[in-house]
Structure 1
Amino acid sequence: MSDIGKAATPLIARGNVAVITGAASGIGRAAAERFANTGMRLVLFDQDEAALAALADRLGAGVRFLAGDVSRIEDVERLRDSAFDAFGSVTLLMNNAAIGGEGGDNWTGLNTWRRTLDVNLWGVVNGVHAFTATMNAQGQPGAIINTGSKQGITNPPGRPAYAVAKAGVRTLTEQLAHGLREAHSRVTAHLLVPGWTFTGMTSTPDGRQPEGSWAPEQVVERMILGVEVGDFYIICPDGAVSPEMDAARIAWGAGDLTENRPALSRWHPDWKEQFDAFVERRHGAVAPAAS
């Protein structure tokens, strides 16, 4: 457990209010369904208004929704105002909206970079900016959960714009957690780091869940547990990668700096054998080829 400490009162509880961005699909949708089943009141936000309307209708009373773009601060401020106007308070904010971006190195052209950073990083910045002061002023326990990615921690080659954005989310959330702690706030910050999860960004051409991936519902259950016990880093395993393997990959990546190895040495041909040996020494397993 981190130094946040176990929540004195459950945040995922009947009558509390949750605001979720990226709520129309994937992890956001699974969180909305889980929270609604608990009796929470919800404000759902996404660009897909039709999907939001259908979800809100299915979840029933106590659910509001608003369509908009997290990259636009005016839309996120409108979301904040709508939530407080409807329910008078916000207990939990999930800054979850994201796009997958394009593969490849993205070194030519800026469209992918701008849109990915606008949504995946600035969308979280906007959410933090719009909600933190107002939630803090309530004087009540609360949580801000920002969805990061292992790609923002281990930094695998292939989608640099996405990795840069998610690395920024990690740094932002660490700074937010520190600031809230120093201010003796009753609001805590948490970094949710899903593993390989079956969402709209990771679906197969035939729509089937890939073997080894987690369902969004599994990620949400791990998230709830992490918040309840006071974890800051809520790092999810999956069916292909164990917590021990995650820890080895993260430790090796940090060692690139402390040992002055080449950048991204895990994928460097001259260092592959050393990485595999490192993992085997720590966990007695050969490292699979994944992020």
Structure 2
Amino acid sequence: MDIFSSGKVAVITGAASGIGLAAARRFAALGMQVCLVDRSDAVAAAAADIGHGAAGFVVDVADRAAVDALAAEIRARFGAVSVLMNNAAIHGGADALSSPDLWAQVIGINLMGVLHGVQAFVPAMVDGGQPGVVINTGSKQGITQPPGNTVYNVSKSAVKSLTEGLAHSLREATGGRVSAHLLIPGFTYTGMTAAAAKPAGAWSADQVVDFMLERLAASDFYILCPDNEVSRAVDAGRMAWAMGDIIENRPALSRWHPDHAQAFAAFMAERD
């Protein structure tokens, strides 16, 4: 895509590590002016390591005023933004009955941080007359809703809905000149989920970014990443089953319900 080219400005949140850092490196290698944003002070070292004029900004995306100020500073220093990647997230680990403070933190970063980025940067992209791309990082958990980390699931489900609505609004407002896309990583070795060494089943963050750029070139909205454990067919089956809970009036999260375990296994076996 020509938009990922020399002189264009890219803003990436959650860029001190993981997928955000991998994207920053790749965009900088393409000649873009990259702005790395993270609440960790490590973002400055990450930007210095990338070089190519990359700039680091310590900002908590949950703070609307701070994100608005960031957008104004980036426009003043570097000009119009062509690529916005709202990627910042924390993992959570709370169910519906626990940890109200953690709920506030996760929703504040994972959902409101994305909304703050959209509302701070995208209106100028719409008004600027130039092509633009918005990438919001979701999760398969926001679609299949596995139990055990409800707060994260809720945040990423909401990011999916937000990005779908944004894509429609941008299509209506710009006719596709500015587009929105939902990145849906698979099992990825990042700072959020990292073990001491990359598990064999995981993709690297660089693989996710390679796949993202490939699918953006094909104009995909849903950038559904496989990994070394789960194929596209398996993902499709799990997602179809999840939607079937509503259509078939099964119990919530029936994939994990003992009365439906055999039916789910048979459903998936048909897709092997």
Q: Which residue, out of 67, 81, 92, partners 1:101?
A: 92
Report the 3-state secondary structure (helix = DSSP H, G, I; strand = E; otherwise coil) of the residue aligned with 2:93. Answer: coil
The CA deviation string for residues 99-133 of structure 1, in whole angstroms up to 9 with x for no partner, is 01125x25134111111100100000101111111
- Answer yes or no: is 1:237 the counterpart of 2:229: no
Partner residue, 2:164: 174
Name the CA distance, whole Å, in 2 between partners of 1:108 and 1:43: 36
The CA deviation string for residues 30-78 of structure 1, in whole angstroms up to 9 with x for no partner, is 00111111111111110112x2121221222421221010000111112
Higher relative contact order (CA 8 A, sep 6+): 1
Structure 1 residues 159, 29: closer, same or farther in 2, change over 3 A? same
Task: Give percent identity, aligned residues only.
Answer: 51
Q: Which residue, out of 123, 146, 152, partners 2:142?
A: 152
Report the 3-state secondary structure (helix = DSSP H, G, I; strand = E; otherwise coil) of the residue aligned with 2:145. Answer: coil
Partner residue, 1:14: 6
The CA deviation string for residues 84-107 of structure 1, in whole angstroms up to 9 with x for no partner, is 11211111000000001125x251
| RMSD after superposition | 1.1
Partner residue, 2:267: 278
Name the CA distance, whole Å, in 2 between partners of 1:202 and 1:59: 23
Count of equivalent residues: 271
Q: Report the CA distance between 1:10 and its aligned residue.
A: 2.0
Q: Counterpart of 1:220 in structure 2: which amino acid?
A: V
| Unaligned 5+ runs, structure 2 | none
Conservation of the 8 A alpha-carbon contact between 1:91 and 1:135? yes
Q: Report the CA distance between 1:203 and its aligned residue.
A: 1.2
Name the CA distance, whole Å, in 1 between partners of 2:157 and 2:55: 31
Conservation of the 8 A alpha-carbon contact between 2:19 and 2:190? yes
Name the CA distance, whole Å, in 2 between partners of 1:82 and 1:112: 30
- Answer yes or no: is 1:65 the counterpart of 2:75: no
Shift >6 Å, 4+ stretches: none
Name the CA distance, whole Å, in 1 between partners of 2:61 and 2:102: 16
Conservation of the 8 A alpha-carbon contact between 1:94 and 1:146? yes
The CA deviation string for residues 149-205 of structure 1, in whole angstroms up to 9 with x for no partner, is 00000000000011000000000000000111112341100000000100111112x
Partner residue, 2:44: 53
- Answer yes or no: is 1:142 the counterpart of 2:139: no
TM-score between the two structures when normalised by the length of structure 1: 0.91
Report the 3-state secondary structure (helix = DSSP H, G, I; strand = E; otherwise coil) of the residue aligned with 1:192. Answer: strand
Name the CA distance, whole Å, in 2 between partners of 1:241 and 1:180: 32
Partner residue, 1:249: 238
Report the 3-state secondary structure (helix = DSSP H, G, I; strand = E; otherwise coil) of the residue aligned with 1:20. Answer: strand
The answer to which of 251-260 and 74-83 deviates more is 74-83
What pairs with 1:8-47 in structure 2 (closer than 5 Å)?
Answer: 9-47=1-39
The CA deviation string for residues 245-268 of structure 1, in whole angstroms up to 9 with x for no partner, is 000011111111111111001110
- Answer yes or no: is 1:210 the counterpart of 2:199: yes
Partner residue, 1:85: 76
The answer to which of 161-170 and 78-87 deviates more is 78-87
Partner residue, 2:107: 117
